[in-house]
Amino acid sequence: MITRSSALLQRPESPSADVKPLSRPSAWQTQLSQAIRDPRELCRRLGLDDSWLPGAEAGHALFEVRVPEAFLARMRYGDPHDPLLRQVLPLIAEGENVPGYVTDPLEEAEYTPGPGLIHKYAGRVLLIASPACAVNCRYCFRRHFPYSDNSPSRAQWERSLDTLRQDTSIHEAILSGGDPLAASDRQLAWLVEHLEAIPHLKRLRLHTRLPVVIPERVDDALSGWLGATRLQKVMVLHINHAQEIDQAVVKACERLRSAGVALLNQSVLLRGVNDSVAALAQLSERLFEAGVLPYYLHVLDPVAGAAHFDVPDEEARELIAGLREVLPGFLLPRLVREIPGETSKTPL
Ligand code: SF4
């Protein structure tokens, strides 16, 4: 079972381990700490009948349930096929052993030169800034990731920063996780302050789902450190369905753009969530209305427990062909697969 559920707000060894904790949690931190973590509660709150419980509890034992209230509020009551619920509701199928589906589908263990550091592609390095997520997505390719081995101490962070200082070919630091924005603003401000002091670093990229599942995460503190850095800022949001984008998300996106952040989106093509031309077209339209450009549509990474979300390549290509007929080119996401060992994402 994944171990990232541990204390979101008080990891003892973190970039700011020597900084006193804030006396009061922010509104988003309170929401995070109050997220639903009980599969029975999730089913009850959405009016699902008891037939969903055994699967929900069995899947929860493999990868725990985590759903913030703000995300739950966008789901349709009484509809077990709601596209947002499908992303977070554990099913009995997660326990099936499907050939080809493994715990580390992208072989990230091969590309980890130090704790919390992943170096796969030329010119950019990925930092695991937080082992926690605001929501646990059932299809997540890191659902088995050894976060406990990748939660660096302050001294380890210093070593990772040294690696970046010494390698002048690296121009972009990517904050990932878990969800990097699950870290506190103090932790992130500390990290970014050290990153921007590295002269050859040009860009800061964040991959996050937090502004979507808890839009209040985009508050004054976040806008403050993000807006202040000299680094060019790119945020890649992870949104899979148009129904995820409510007015609060639109507002969060506006604030991010005001802080000088370029907004992109990547989605995963998921059976039962967004596997139709209509759903994908609606998602692209809604993203653009919120000032976000569709970037990637990933096919599913073959992670153990998620095979029931798979859409075959041929069908994925047909969906993109259908999308091309109804959308302008700039709203068409690139259909890609990540293949371990390749120097970039592979177009399909
Ligand atoms: S937010 Fe991202 S990293 Fe976290 S569970 Fe969902 S897909 Fe995985």
Closest-CA residue, ligand 1 atom 6, reads 137
Q: Rounded mean pLDDT of the chain?
A: 90
At residue 110, the pLDDT reads 67
Query: Residue 210 Cα, ligand 1 centroid: separation in angstroms?
Result: 9
At residue 156, the pLDDT reads 75
pTM, two decimal places? 0.90
Residue 130 has pLDDT above 60, yes or no: yes
Residue 181 has pLDDT above 70, yes or no: yes
Closest-CA residue, ligand 1 atom 7, reads 140
User: 12 pLDDT band (50/70/90 cuts)?
Assistant: very low
Testing ligand 1's pocket by substitution, the residue of 136, 141, 150 carrying the most ligand atoms inside 8 A of its CB is 136
Higher pLDDT, 151 or 96: 96
User: 179 pLDDT band (50/70/90 cuts)?
Assistant: very high
At residue 113, the pLDDT reads 64
Task: Please list every protein residue whose CB sits less than 6 Å from any atom of ligand 1.
Answer: 133, 135-137, 140, 142, 177-179, 209, 238
Residue 13 has pLDDT above 80, yes or no: no
Q: Work out the burial of residue 63: count CB atoms within 10 Å of its CB; fewer than 13 is exposed, 13-18 middle, 19 or more buried.
A: buried
Query: Residue 306 Cα, ligand 1 centroid: separation in angstroms?
Result: 13
Residue 202 has pLDDT above 90, yes or no: yes
Question: From CA 69, how far away is CA 200, in angstroms rounded?
Answer: 41
Testing ligand 1's pocket by substitution, the residue of 65, 142, 212, 273 carrying the most ligand atoms inside 8 A of its CB is 142
Overall average pLDDT of the 229-251 stretch: 98
User: 146 pLDDT band (50/70/90 cuts)?
Assistant: low
Higher pLDDT, 152 or 67: 67
At residue 9, the pLDDT reads 31
Query: Residue 135 Cα, ligand 1 centroid: separation in angstroms?
Result: 7
User: 131 pLDDT band (50/70/90 cuts)?
Assistant: confident
Q: Which atom of ligand 1 is nearest to the CA of 134?
A: 1
Query: Residue 89 Cα, ligand 1 centroid: separation in angstroms?
Result: 14
Q: Which atom of ligand 1 is nearest to the CA of 210?
A: 1
Q: Rg of the chain's alpha carbons, rounded to an integer?
A: 19
Q: Which two tokens stand for residue 54?
A: 């055994």
pLDDT digits (tens, 9 = 90+) for 249-282: 999 999 999 999 999 999 999 999 999 999 999 9
At residue 2, the pLDDT reads 32
E strands within the chain?
117-118, 124-130, 172-177, 203-208, 232-238, 261-268, 293-298, 334-337, 346-347
Handedness of CA 71, 77, 82, 85 (dihedral sign): positive
Closest-CA residue, ligand 1 atom 3, reads 178
User: What is the helix, strand, coil percentage profile of the chain, to 5?
Assistant: 40, 15, 45
Instruction: Name the phi and psi angles at 95, rounded to 5.
Output: -85, -5
Query: Residue 142 Cα, ligand 1 centroid: separation in angstroms?
Result: 7
Testing ligand 1's pocket by substitution, the residue of 137, 236, 237 carrying the most ligand atoms inside 8 A of its CB is 137
